[in-house]
Structure 1
Amino acid sequence: MKNVVIALSMLTLTACSTMQPPRYSVSVDNVQTLKSLTEVKGEFVSLNEPAKFSSNCRLMGPIEPADGLSISQFITKAFNDELKMADKYSKDEVKVTGDITKIEFSSISGVTSGYWDISLNLKSTNGKSLAVNNKYSFKSGFDAITACNATADALSPAVQDLIKATLSHPEFTDLMKHS
């Protein structure tokens, strides 16, 4: 009986945790790609949250980005950080808004793997639009603590990969080109 009480106490204590991914880290490859796109200049203004997204990871609690940012603010800031590092950020040029049309994660895909699946519809003040989706896979873990922490840690590289997919899209330059 004592073991059951201890196990329930541990479950209760861990169920209240919030997993916080590290702050976004700029991708050198994304910056290099942006630097090679001579006509690109602008800023990402905002992305709307999807209608449904559960940030809860198993019974561990939610995954919430650092600094009190929402997922949409985290992704928007990541795009702008990449543009700034590539010297392509400008409040006076093209402004991009959009919708996160899909965002979901799994901390248990194939027992010890996980993924972040993110899709965006982007719209530019120049009238162009672009739809992009990216599924980023990673190693998670078997137990909830390890898997959920790995899922939180994978958010930043998942967004780096989403940005890479966006930059690689054949219509990205048109989206960011001042008309």
Structure 2
Amino acid sequence: MHMKKLALSLTVALLSTGCSMMAPQYSASIENVQTLKNSGETKVSVGQFASTPGPGNAYPISIRGSSMSSPYNNSYGAYVANAIQQELALANRHTQAGNLEVSGVLLKNDIDAAGFSVGYVTVEARFIVKHNGATTYDQVKSVKQEFPSSFAGAVAIPKAVQEYNFAVQKLLGLVYEDKAFADAIK
């Protein structure tokens, strides 16, 4: 009986100590790159993406007792900025400095993997385009990406981490497909 209590105590201790992990680096979406290619040739720089701390936008992201940090400057705003920069570069539209700049603010950034069959990644940001310092685009876009989850944390946590990249791809796809955004970066 004593061994069962000890085993149970060790199991509870292991499960209650969350692990810290790094989110995978952003992987560009071919569809997003093609949308950027199709919307013009003008070069665009990427400015700062701030991150507004608050409910639904904690840093690091908590996933079932584990925490996930950004691989870019310890900031998910920087994660979004890097994602845009990658896709602009692959579309041959990125420049380090120019008269067109996209920047923004990350408003919501959360992963809910608590469900035993379904999880969600929520990402919301304000995207701003400035041309010669004048704002030509300022809109908020959001994504709530649903993904299959599991009772087992060993399955649910890696799936949630993987889905984060897809949610950011989907968010940026919404921005790039917005005619007002496409016109602002022409």
Counterpart-to-counterpart distance in 1, 2:169 and 2:152? 26
Residue 36 of structure 1 aligns with which residue? 38
Asked if residue 150 in structure 1 is aligned to residue 168 in structure 2, the reply is no
Residue 16 of structure 1 aligns with which residue? 18
Residue 108 of structure 1 aligns with which residue? 114
TM-score normalized by structure 1?
A: 0.86
Residue 66 of structure 1 aligns with which residue? 71
TM-score normalized by structure 2?
A: 0.83
Counterpart-to-counterpart distance in 1, 2:21 and 2:155? 11
Q: What amino acid is the match of 2:102?
A: V
3-state DSSP of counterpart to 2:49: strand
Identity of matched residues, %: 21
Q: What stretches of structure 1 of length at least 5 have no aligned partner?
A: none
Q: What stretches of structure 2 of length at least 5 have no aligned partner?
A: none
Q: What amino acid is the match of 1:26?
A: A
Q: What amino acid is the match of 2:26?
A: Y
Q: What amino acid is the match of 2:156?
A: A
Answer with 1 or 2: which has the greater Rg. 2
Asked if residue 117 in structure 1 is aligned to residue 89 in structure 2, the reply is no
Counterpart-to-counterpart distance in 1, 2:5 and 2:72? 37
Residue 2 of structure 1 aligns with which residue? 3
Q: Once the 2 structures are TM-superposed, how far is the Cα of residue 144 of structure 1 from its aligned partner?
A: 2.2
Q: What amino acid is the match of 1:49?
A: S
Q: Which of 77-86 and 7-16 deviates more?
A: 7-16
Give RMSD over aligned pairs.
Answer: 2.0
Asked if residue 81 in structure 1 is aligned to residue 86 in structure 2, the reply is yes
State how many pairs are aligned.
175
Which whole-Å deviations, capped at 9, do the CAs of 1:83-122 have from their partners, x for residues lacking one? 000001012231122111222221134x322111111112
Q: Once the 2 structures are TM-superposed, how far is the Cα of residue 38 of structure 1 from its aligned partner?
A: 0.9
Counterpart-to-counterpart distance in 1, 2:184 and 2:12? 48
